[in-house]
């Protein structure tokens, strides 16, 4: 019997239009009614992920920023917070400056960006449909480095985006030389940087221990590199049909794609 299901958002629960299908929503709702703990486990910032957690009724624990922050959706309490050092932030910013590449930063529940494009533009558009108190706190700044220096806490996650694969590889190699951070990807055109030891897998382990649910009773569903660790940790690791091949190879089961309600298929087969 599986009592805890961790679900990635982009490429997993969300389809290609960044929407949750009615079939996925109903399957998750039925599982929650049965007493199953459903945890959204995303690379997104808290306010950006919380919108979808509430949409499916998963109002317990939520994992955001690839595991750097674990929160309680209902109370807003932070259960775990592991930001990078400001010194590491400056090193990453220096690499991005030399490469003249787009990047944005999550510091707790604030997003710093110098340009309104990619993820910043996506969240900006989402904000238009949200009540003011639920909007993502996007702060346009002239210099992210200066914003990080002045802010009361350090960065939870960096997101670097480029359509140039060779450039991304160069940046990844340079950032990976910082031995106190972790580098991963959630899409073909990005790299994401968090503090050393942070991952969705370690976050899921933290939650399973906190709830007293053994890993054998945990399912994790994802599609990309940043989901790899939680798929390995879970008793049943599930890769989406659209997942990267190495993620599929690591999984115990491969479901349908995110445009074919692959999440609902998992709940139907293993939970409901």
190-228 pLDDT, tens digit per residue, is: 999 999 999 999 999 999 999 999 999 999 999 999 999
Domain boundaries, the chain: 4-81+199-271, 86-195
CATH 3.40.50.1000 fits 4-81+199-271, yes or no: yes
Note whether 4-81+199-271 and 86-195 share their fold. Answer: no
pLDDT band at 109 (very low <50, low <70, confident <90, very high): confident
Active site residues: 8
Residue 133 has pLDDT above 80, yes or no: no
The beta-strand segments (E) located in the chain are 4-7, 37-41, 61-64, 69-72, 78-81, 102-107, 110-113, 137-140, 157-161, 181-184, 190-195, 218-222, 236-239, 253-254
Residue 262 has pLDDT above 90, yes or no: yes
What pLDDT shows up at residue 130? Answer: 79
pTM as predicted = 0.94
Q: How far apart are CA 230 and CA 125, in angstroms?
A: 30
Residue 143 has pLDDT above 80, yes or no: yes
Architecture of the domain defined by 86-195: 2-Layer Sandwich (3.30)
């Amino acid at each position: 019997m599986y009592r805890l299901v961790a679900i990635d958002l982009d490429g997993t629960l969300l389809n290609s239009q960044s929407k949750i299908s009615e079939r996925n929503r109903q399957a998750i709702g039925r599982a929650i009614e049965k007493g199953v703990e459903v945890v959204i486990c995303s690379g997104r910032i808290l306010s950006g992920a919380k919108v979808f957690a509430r949409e499916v009724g998963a109002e317990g624990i939520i994992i955001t920023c690839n595991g750097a922050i674990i929160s309680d959706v209902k109370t807003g309490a932070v259960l775990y917070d592991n930001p990078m050092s400001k010194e590491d932030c400056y090193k990453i910013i220096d690499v991005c400056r030399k490469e003249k590449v787009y990047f944005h930063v999550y510091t707790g529940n604030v997003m710093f960006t110098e340009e309104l494009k990619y993820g910043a533009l996506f969240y900006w558009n989402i904000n238009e449909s949200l009540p003011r108190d639920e909007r993502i706190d996007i702060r346009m700044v002239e210099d992210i480095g200066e914003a990080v220096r002045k802010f009361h806490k350090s960065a939870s996650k960096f997101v670097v985006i480029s359509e140039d694969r060779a450039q991304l590889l160069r940046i990844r190699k340079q950032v990976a030389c910082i031995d106190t951070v972790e580098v991963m990807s959630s899409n073909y055109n990005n790299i994401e940087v968090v503090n050393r030891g942070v991952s969705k897998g370690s976050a899921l382990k933290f939650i399973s221990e906190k709830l007293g649910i053994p890993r054998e009773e945990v399912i994790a569903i994802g599609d990309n590199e940043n989901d790899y660790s939680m798929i390995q940790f879970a008793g049943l690791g599930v890769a989406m049909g659209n997942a990267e091949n190495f993620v599929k190879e690591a999984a115990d089961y491969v479901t349908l794609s995110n445009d074919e309600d692959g999440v609902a298929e998992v709940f139907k087969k293993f939970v409901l």
